[in-house]
C-alpha cells in the first residue's frame, strides 16, 4: 500500500514521501496562481478550482487568499463560498454540501499528529474526514477539526472550535463548540 493509499484510508502514513510532496507542491502552485489572479478573472478562477478540487458544483466562489494541501480531497456542491483566508488541510476528504457559506479566516484541518513526542517527531500522521452538510453557514475564524460532521441547515458561530459532530438544524458556538439553539424549519 502506498503512502497516498494509507493517507486516504485513514491509516498512519509518511507525508514526506516524494509522491505526497509533489502533490502538495502542485496544489500550492495552483493556489498561488488562483490567489494572484485579478479579482475580475472569475472564469479563470473557477477553472483553476475545478482542476484543483476533486468535485465542484457549477457555482463556486473563493476569495483570496485560499490554501489547501492537496485539493483532490476537497468536494463541494452548488453555491459554495469561502471568504478571505480560507485553509483546507485535506489529507482526508473534506466534503461541503450545497449552499455552504464560510466566513473569513476559517480552517478545516483533517491531519492528526501523534500525542507522544517520540512518535510525533517521526513526522508520521493520520487523517480523518470532515463533512459539512447542505445549507450550512460557518462564521469567521471558526476551526473545524478532524473527523467532524456538521449537519444540514446549521450555523457555526464566529470563533468556534468544532471538536465534535454538530447535528442538523442548530446554532452552535464556542470553544469547544456546543449547541445553543435549535432552528425551526
Do 131 and 168 touch, CB atoms closer than 8 A? no
Residue 159's domain comprises 3-182
Domain count, the chain: 1
Q: Is 113 in the active site?
A: yes
Domain of residue 160, CATH code: 2.160.10.10
Q: What does the pLDDT read at residue 185?
A: 78
Q: Which residues contact 185 (CB under 8 A, 6 or more apart)?
A: 153, 169
Query: Can you tell me the distance from the alpha carbon of 177 to that of 162, in angstroms, rounded to the nearest whole number?
Result: 5
Q: What does the pLDDT read at residue 171?
A: 98
Catalytic choice (29, 50, 58, 113) = 113
- Write out pLDDT tens, residues 105-128: 999 999 999 999 999 999 999 999
Query: Can you tell me the distance from the alpha carbon of 56 to that of 75, in angstroms, rounded to the nearest whole number?
Result: 6
Query: Can you tell me the distance from the alpha carbon of 100 to that of 92, in angstroms, rounded to the nearest whole number?
Result: 19
- Write out pLDDT tens, residues 6-33: 999 999 999 999 999 999 999 999 999 9
Closest CA to 143 of 167, 166, 159, 127: 159
Strand order in the sheet with 143-144: 66-68, 86-89, 107-109, 143-144, 161-162
Amino acid at each position: 500500500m502506498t503512502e497516498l493509499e494509507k493517507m486516504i484510508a485513514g491509516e498512519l502514513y509518511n507525508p514526506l514521501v516524494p509522491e505526497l510532496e509533489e502533490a502538495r507542491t502542485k496544489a500550492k502552485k495552483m493556489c498561488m496562481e488562483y490567489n494572484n489572479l485579478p479579482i475580475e478573472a472569475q472564469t479563470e478562477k473557477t477553472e483553476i478550482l475545478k482542476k484543483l478540487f476533486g468535485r465542484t458544483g457549477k457555482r463556486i466562489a473563493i476569495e483570496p487568499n485560499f490554501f489547501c494541501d492537496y485539493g483532490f480531497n476537497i468536494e463541494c456542491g452548488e453555491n459554495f463560498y469561502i471568504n478571505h483566508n480560507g485553509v483546507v488541510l485535506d489529507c482526508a476528504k473534506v466534503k461541503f454540501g450545497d449552499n455552504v457559506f464560510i466566513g473569513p479566516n476559517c480552517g478545516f484541518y483533517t491531519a492528526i499528529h501523534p500525542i507522544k513526542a517520540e512518535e510525533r517527531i517521526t513526522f508520521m500522521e493520520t487523517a480523518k474526514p470532515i463533512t459539512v452538510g447542505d445549507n450550512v453557514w460557518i462564521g469567521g475564524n471558526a476551526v473545524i477539526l478532524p473527523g467532524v460532521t456538521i449537519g444540514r441547515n446549521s450555523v457555526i458561530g464566529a470563533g468556534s472550535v468544532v471538536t465534535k459532530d454538530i447535528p442538523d438544524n442548530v446554532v452552535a458556538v464556542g470553544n469547544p463548540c456546543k449547541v445553543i439553539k435549535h432552528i425551526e424549519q
